[in-house]
Amino acid sequence: MQSLNVAFVVQGEGRGHMTQALALAAFLREAGHEVSTVMVGRSPWRTIPDYFVEGIAADIEEFDAPTQVPAADGRALSVPRTIADVALRSPGFIRSVLRIAEVTQGADVVVNFLDLMGGAARKLFPSRVPALAVAHNFVFLHPDLAGAPGPDPLRRSVLAYARATASGTDRRIALSFAPLANRPDLGLEVAPPLLRPGWEDLRSSPGDYLLAYALNAGYGAELSAWSAKNPNVEVHCYLQDGEAALPAGSPATFHAHGLDQTAFLSHLAGCRAYVGSAGFESICEAHLLGKPVLAVPTEGQFEQTLNAWDAERVGVARAGSYAALDDFWQSPPTPGQEAVDGFRRWLATAPDFFVDAVQRTSHTAAGGGPG
């Protein structure tokens, strides 16, 4: 088919959305299409990792977007700080919506990776350019996951946010740990995870160290404190700014690293077990390597509570907190080889599925979708 010019709009708050964009860009280019424009939401609290800038192989334009602001302890989400930040920066959000609408108008297809400004742009400025929305968050719209935990008002608000990011799109694709039936009546297609290129070449090896990922620096300090109480355990911890993000005095067996996807995957392949925030992609990467996973939701981020519950539901991780780290390390729940092989087969269907989804979307009339 004719080569397509595809534009990405990526939520910058979660690095998993960037991972998904990297994977889809590679699939599309392999199929002869072009990803020429990548727009990423800017957060004052996080930077775009170098691995994304280098790997996406396209011009990146940042725009102001709402973000989740950490509390003073550098751990949990602070609702008051988040509200204040939104109020302070809201004029920039209007400019973002206008800019997204302008830039994406020249594409053949737009892909939105759970970005609210991208959804607002489609809602306020209906476009003839067809679009699809991709996120794990959409899977919680599926009736099979109706038993997810949490208060109904909170769950409804999280799902309303997810729906808003898909406004004005023609196709809504839910990334899932395991296959589920499509629900066209709900405007929902279920797809395998979008993992960064090269996962097929990863080979697991037995190790004796704990690998950790800390979304916020306060959790890195908590892991460092755990390491000090367990001096016989070597810990490798990845977090933004690495050692510079932590107070001085970490034990010699605790190694803090800045964000580096190649080094992270190498450590993941060789670790004994993995603990980290309940982000979708890192859990998937650990599971495909057969590694035990303790998924720790970031406090105040309810979507991570849902992620951890979903991962435990299908047997790819144990949901918990850092208080459970002692028990987890003593007896890590290693997944069976049959489960890992089945997961790898599910992942292997991603390239064909997503290239086909983009190509089918290019033939649809925009604006009448599930948003």
Which residues fall within 8 angstroms of residue 83, CB to CB, at 6 or more apart?
Answer: none
Specify the CATH number of the domain 5-192+349-361: 3.40.50
Host H or E run for residue 103? helix 79-104
Task: Please identify which residue in the block is written with the tokens 């990146």.
Answer: 60
What pLDDT, on a 0 to 100 scale, did the predictor assign at position 82?
85
> Strand locations in the chain, DSSP E?
5-10, 34-42, 59-64, 109-113, 131-135, 171-175, 189-191, 209-213, 234-238, 254-257, 273-277, 293-296, 318-319
271: which strand partners? none
Q: Exposed, middle or buried, 147 (CB in 10 Å: 0-12/13-18/19+)?
A: exposed
Annotated domain spans of the chain: 5-192+349-361, 199-346
> Strand locations in 192-241, DSSP E?
209-213, 234-238
- 274-331 pLDDT, tens digit per residue, is 999 888 999 999 999 999 999 999 887 888 999 999 999 999 999 999 999 999 999 9
* Separation of alpha carbons 47 and 28, rounded Å: 26
- 182-204 pLDDT, tens digit per residue, is 999 999 999 999 997 778 788 89
What pLDDT, on a 0 to 100 scale, did the predictor assign at position 167?
95
**The dihedral sign for the CA sequence 349, 351, 352, 356:** positive
Residue 76 pLDDT greater than 50, yes or no:
yes
Which residues fall within 8 angstroms of residue 202, CB to CB, at 6 or more apart?
Answer: 265, 268, 269, 285, 288, 289
Q: CATH: 3.40.50.2000, 3.30.300.30, 3.30.1360.20, 3.30.360.10. Which one for 199-346?
A: 3.40.50.2000
**The dihedral sign for the CA sequence 24, 346, 262, 252:** positive
What pLDDT, on a 0 to 100 scale, did the predictor assign at position 368?
46
Q: Exposed, middle or buried, 260 (CB in 10 Å: 0-12/13-18/19+)?
A: middle
Host H or E run for residue 17? helix 15-30
Average pLDDT, the chain: 91
Band of residue 371 on the pLDDT scale cut at 50, 70, 90: low
Radius of gyration of the CA atoms of the chain, in A:
20
Amino acid identity for residue 107 in this structure: A
Residue 73 pLDDT greater than 90, yes or no:
no
CB 170 within 8 A of CB 368: yes
Mean pLDDT of 262-273: 94
Taking the model in full, what pTM does it have? 0.90
Band of residue 369 on the pLDDT scale cut at 50, 70, 90: low
Band of residue 87 on the pLDDT scale cut at 50, 70, 90: confident
Residue 242 to residues 13, 66, 259, 303, Cα–Cα distance (Å):
18, 25, 7, 25
For residue 319, report the phi and psi dihedrals to the nearest 5 degrees. -85, 135
The mean-pLDDT minimum among 72-86, 124-138, 206-220, 279-293 falls in 72-86
* Separation of alpha carbons 215 and 1, rounded Å: 41
SS3 181: coil
Mean pLDDT of 105-126: 96
Mean pLDDT of 31-48: 89
Same topology, domains 5-192+349-361 and 199-346? Answer is yes
